[in-house]
Structure formats: C-alpha cells, structure tokens
Structure 1
Amino acid sequence: MQPRIVIVDDHPLMCIAVRLVLEREGYEIVAECHTGADCIQTVRSLEPDLVVLDLSIPKLDGFSVIDRLRSSNVKTSILILTSSDSNHYAFRCLQAGASGFVCKDDKLEELTQAVKAVLAGYSYFQKEVTDQLRENAFMTARKTTSTHASELSLLTDRELTVFGLLVKGMNNQEISHTLMLSHKTISTYKIRLMNKLNAPNMVELVKIAQRNDIATT
C-alpha cells in the first residue's frame, strides 16, 4: 500500500506541480488543501502518512498548523515546502515538530528525496539546521546564550510570521484575515515587533527584513 499524502498550498499551480512529482514516484495524493483550517480538518479526517505543507497559507499559518497537528492524536508526519528563507524558518520548523524542510527555490527533485526520508522515519534538514540544534542544546546545557544571535532570534514563531507578512506589504486587516486573528491582536504584534527590533516605522522594519534576507515582495 502506497503512502498517502496531503498537499497544502494556496497556489493551485504549485499543488499541481507537487502532485505530478509525487504521483510519478507512486505516492497517493489523497487531498489538496489551500488553507490552514482546511488542512487541520482534512488531516484529522483522513490521517494521511504525510503532509507537504507551505508556511505562508491563509486561515492559520504553517506554524499554527504544525502546533495544532502535533497537539492532536494524529501521527501524520509534516514536511515543509515553502519559499520562506531556510536560514530563519527551517530551525523553527524543526523545533515546532516538522520532520523536514525543503525550499521551493530548490529543484522539485529534492522534494522526492525529502519525502522518501521522512516516510522512512528520518528527518530532512540542511546540515546547518541540525548543527544549530546541537549548538543550542550545548548552550542550554551551559546556561549561556550566543552573543552572535540574529536580530530575528528575538522573535517568537508568530511574531516572525506577522513580520514576514508586514514587510511583504500586507496591512493589519489582511494579516488578521490570513492568520484568523483580530485586527487588535495584529496591531499588538506590530507594536511588539517594532519594540523588539528597535524599529520606529515600517521603513526600518523593511530594512531589517532585507538585512536578514527576508523576502519583501
């Protein structure tokens, strides 16, 4: 019996491309979802072997989906396939409970390698990510913190998500709709971001994003 996979991406053409690549390898695609809310409902209903999940999806972002699936009883593995920069997001996905991370900028052939690894019970992350995990464990054991931490390491997963959407030009109302949070909550996150990053306005937030290779378009 072939492994059963759910694809989660709000871009239909990407869903088609991923489906074609995986079906060519003999995998069964049991569903395609375009929002985080639909993903959670579908996975709980079908209990597939694997979810191929984009981080930037409407109605619950990828981190929220990971958190909710991991807190439920389903044993579905999660493989992230996203355009979000791996330097800032891959390690957070590992910490959140994902089993692998592939960037859309890479060839889709790498996706098949990642799927095979995750379904076999292995993790699939760049060496830099696993090295960072070991370094963090070492630093935690010594109860010290790195003096070379990125500016963005100050942010929580949700703050990083809001930050990424803000610098792409989305307004508070659009972000609140995407993340299924109130307009007031998004305003609070925006203020918190500016305080943590010492950015008095959106221009400075965009500069920080560019300095840290966060896409602003």
Structure 2
Amino acid sequence: MAKNLNIIVADDHPMLLKGLTEELITNGYNVISTAENGAIALELITKLNPDIALLDIEMPLLDGFEVIKKCEGKGLKTKFIILTTHKGSRFVYKAKTLNISGYLLKDEPFIEIQNCINAIKNGNTYFSTTFNTVFETEISPELEKMKRLSPSERTIVRLIAQGNSSKDISESLYISLRTVQKHRTNILNKLDLESNLESLSVWANNHKDIILSL
C-alpha cells in the first residue's frame, strides 16, 4: 500500500508543516522526518533516502528546486512532490524540466496529495489540473514560437533574456548594431509581438526560464 511509503515533508511555515504532517499521519502515512528549510531537507533526504519528499518551493537556504537538483546523481530512490502556492508559468516550466513526480497547489484538498502519492506508488506522475492547464495554454505556445527562430535569432533572444542591450549584443557577437536591430525586427515578426522598442525585452524577461533552457 502507498501508506507504507516513507515520507519527508519540508516547509518553512511551522503551522503548515505541522498541519500537513499531522494530516498525513492521521491518514496512516509514515512521515519519518520534517524540515523547516531546504538545507535540512537535503541533509535528511540524502541520509534517510525516503520514498517520497514533499517540498515547498520557497524555503530558506535552498528552495525546493535546488534541493531536487542537488539530489540528482546521488542514487536516491526518492520521488519528489512540489507543494506550492505558485501557479505562474515560470515555476511550472521549471518544475517540468526537473525529475519530479508531482506538482500540487497548497489550496487543493488533501485528497489530491493522497491521489498523488498513490499515483507515485503505481509508477506514475500526478500534476495539478492547474499545472497542466498553465503548461498547455501558456508554455507550449511559446515553445512553438521559439521553434520558428533561427539559431542566430535564438542566441540573440537568449542574450536579451539575460539583460543585454542591442549594443551589448553587437559587441559580444562581433556584428553591427544595424544587424542586431534587423534580427530583432525579424524576431518580433516571428513571435507575433508588437513592433515597439520594449515588447521583445518584456517577452524575453517573462519567458526567461524557457529561453535559457533551450
């Protein structure tokens, strides 16, 4: 049964941590330890190698994503569930690129955590409906747009996402400022963005995690 799995819970809000832990235990789950920050969570996961780690995203010292990244390559059996208030595309995309088994919102009923744990026990993943909606409606369309860009244009978009100006890009790529501006115009057209000075910079900043991962 899924309730025989060893679970670690990490959240920097004491009341939330206590409430979730008690709810899990009351429902028969085996919570072997808890952590109030990411560093302790990482130490416990590495030491105890639990079946499941329930992690908040925003925690002191290390956030949930950083904990998961640092666990990679350690030969752990642990499956990760992100439990968060964040519904934004930046967080959803970042979670999608990590080896996680579940992404749940804190305002969802406890039954969703149970469904997620059961899915993991059966070798599946389980993501909040909101997670899937955000990915399908906000992230996938932007990924498709990025495919329209040439390698050179992707390089320029990546540099813009990193905060570089047209002058910076011109100097780092050893091309004229006019060439950079021409590329920017072509990129605006391919991405269906408004033809103004700031629209590409705003778009690149809003989709920074997607852009820098490609």
TM-score range, shorter chain: 0.5 to 0.7
Deviation at 1:132, TM superposition (A): 6.8
* Match in the other structure for 2:33: 31
Deviation at 1:133, TM superposition (A): 11
State yes or no: 1:153 paired with 2:189: no
Q: Identify which of 148, 172, 179 aligns with 1:144.
A: 148
* Match in the other structure for 1:12: 14
Alignment of 1:119-198 (within 5 A): 119-125=121-127, 126=129, 127-128=132-133, 131=136, 135=140, 139=144, 143-144=147-148, 147=191, 151-155=205-209
SS, match of residue 106 in structure 1: coil
Deviation at 1:73, TM superposition (A): 1.4
Deviation at 1:89, TM superposition (A): 1.4
Unaligned runs of 5+ in 1: 160-217
**Cα contact 2:89–2:139 (8 A) shared by 1:** no
TM-score (norm 2): 0.62
Give the total of aligned pairs. Answer: 157
Unaligned runs of 5+ in 2: 150-189, 193-202
* Match in the other structure for 2:169: none
* CA shift digits 1:67-97 (9 cap, x unpaired): 0112321120000011222543123212111
* CA shift digits 1:17-62 (9 cap, x unpaired): 2112222332100000111111111111111000000001001111
Instruction: Tell me: CA distance 1:71–1:24, structure 2 relative to 1, closer, same or farther (3 Å).
Output: same
Distance (Å, rounded) in 2 between the aligned partners of 1:39 and 1:6: 8
- Tell me which structure has the larger Cα radius of gyration: 2
Instruction: Tell me: CA distance 1:110–1:4, structure 2 relative to 1, closer, same or farther (3 Å).
Output: same
Distance (Å, rounded) in 1 between the aligned partners of 2:43 and 2:138: 31
Q: Identify which of 64, 74, 77 aligns with 1:75.
A: 77
The letter of the residue matching 1:147 is L
* Match in the other structure for 2:108: 106
Deviation at 1:99, TM superposition (A): 1.1
Of 73-82 and 86-95, more deviation after overlay is shown by 86-95
* Match in the other structure for 1:93: 95
**Cα contact 1:94–1:100 (8 A) shared by 2:** no
* CA shift digits 1:94-147 (9 cap, x unpaired): 2111111111122232222122212322111233256479948x849x943683
The letter of the residue matching 1:21 is E
Deviation at 1:156, TM superposition (A): 7.2
Distance (Å, rounded) in 1 between the aligned partners of 2:46 and 2:138: 30
